[in-house]
Every structure is written in structure tokens, then in C-alpha cells.
Amino acid sequence: MISDILKRKKEEKGMTTEALSRLSGVPLGTINKILNGETRSPRYDTLMALEKVLLDKKDTDEYLVIRDSQAALEYQGCGPYTIEDYRALPQEVRAELIDGELIFMEAPGTAHQILVMKIAFLLELFIRENKGECLVLPAPLDVQLDCDDKTLVQPDIVVLCKKEKLVKEGIYGAPDMVIEVTSPSTRRMDFAKKMVKYDNAGVREYWIVDLQKKKVVTYHLEEDPMPSLYTFRDKIPVQIFDEKLEIDFAGFADVLESIPE
């Protein structure tokens, strides 16, 4: 536990809690809550301030646990968290924030990345050829769906046609189209909670590319709440472009089949 590490280092240095507060700039009450375990997952900037005082240079590799993605899992399930907490995570940690819960993600596999690249390319090519105004943006990109401080997601691909929703940190509001390519760690989330979040936020079209089942589920959310089901042998129409673009999944087959299981 983080509290045990900090408590041990404080004792080794013979430092009082009052002195630690003064030197780190962290309020005394906050330090007490961390040391007694009441606060299980301190904010990143708070932890760094304490570690700067308590840890010697030789301790860095062993004790700066919050910078390790495994240690960051201590955040999960301990919410509710806010976007401020999300932005305080180490940059190398991949996570999403949904309804105040931090959800940590594994690095995507080869097939996942190939599909994301190829689908995004076809969308971008269509927009350019038709002199469209929409943008195609792949992950990692923060999307603040609900315009509140408890949900921030990173869809695999978004199509955004209202550029006023672009902000410095990513997208503020619902994109026009979202595509998620499933992985074992995200599959349930993509089919359940995320679908509801995208629908409620006003996403017009949502695709789930299911690598395990080799199927694509599409939702034309602004017209019909019922999904359409396709296989990896089909050409799938993009509804927000009035079906003038079809993504031919059969064209990806050779590359996908060459990837070892």
C-alpha cells in the first residue's frame, strides 16, 4: 500500500507529520488521511510532493510506485473520481473515466491496431475526396462526452463534424460517429456501458468491431435504436455519410489472417 511505504520512509527519517506538511506543502489533514489509510489513492500531485520530501534518489526505482501502471490499478473501483483525478494520472497509464469510475486498459494488440488504422484511413480518404469538413481522430484522444466532470473516454476512432467541439484537451461533447474495436479487456464495456453513454450523449452512429466474434455491430442512434449485425465479409454502410461510403471488411482479411493467434 502507498500509505505503508510513505509511513515507513517518514519513520526512517524521524520526521514528524507537521514537518512533512511544512516541507511538502501538503495540508496536515490530508497527510494524516493518507498515512492512516483513509485515503487509499492520493492525488498524483499530492503523492509527488510527499515523495519529493521523503524519498532519496536511490529509492526512486523501488518507491515511486504511482508511476508504474500496475500501481495505478489501486485507483480502480475506489471512486467516484473526477476529470481532475484522471488528468493527474501518469502519462503512460491508459485509462478512461466513466461515471466516476477509473477503468484501466491494456495496450491494444496487432489486429486491433491494423483495423483502427485501415478504417480511419478509409474514412479520411472519403472525406478528402468529397471535400468534407469532418475530422477523423484516432485514440488516444480524450472525449468529454457528457460535458461533466465524471466521464471522459478514449474511443478507438471518432468522426467529428462540428469543429467547435474541439478543445485543447480533446473533444468536449458528443462526436458524430464512434468506432470501438474490441479487445478482451474492453469487450464487455464496449457492448454495455459505453453504448448507453454514447446514445445518451447524442452520438449519431456507433460501431463495435468485435475481433473475437469477427462481427461488426452498428447503431444508427439518431434514427433507430436497434442494431444491425455484419460479418467480416461484408461491406458496411456509414450512415452519417448517407451510405455513400461502405467499409469493405473483406478487404482486411488477408492482413488479419496473417497475424498469429
- The sign one gets for the Cα dihedral 76, 80, 81, 82 is positive
What distance in Å separates the CA atoms of residue 209 and residue 187, rounded to the nearest whole number? 10
pLDDT digits (tens, 9 = 90+) for 111-160: 899 999 999 999 999 999 999 999 999 999 999 998 888 999 999 999 99
| CA 57 – CA 52 distance, rounded (Å) | 9
Name the pTM for this structure: 0.70
Distance CA 169, CA 131 (A): 26
Q: What is the pLDDT of residues 87-122, one digit of tens each?
A: 888 877 888 998 888 888 888 888 899 999 999 999
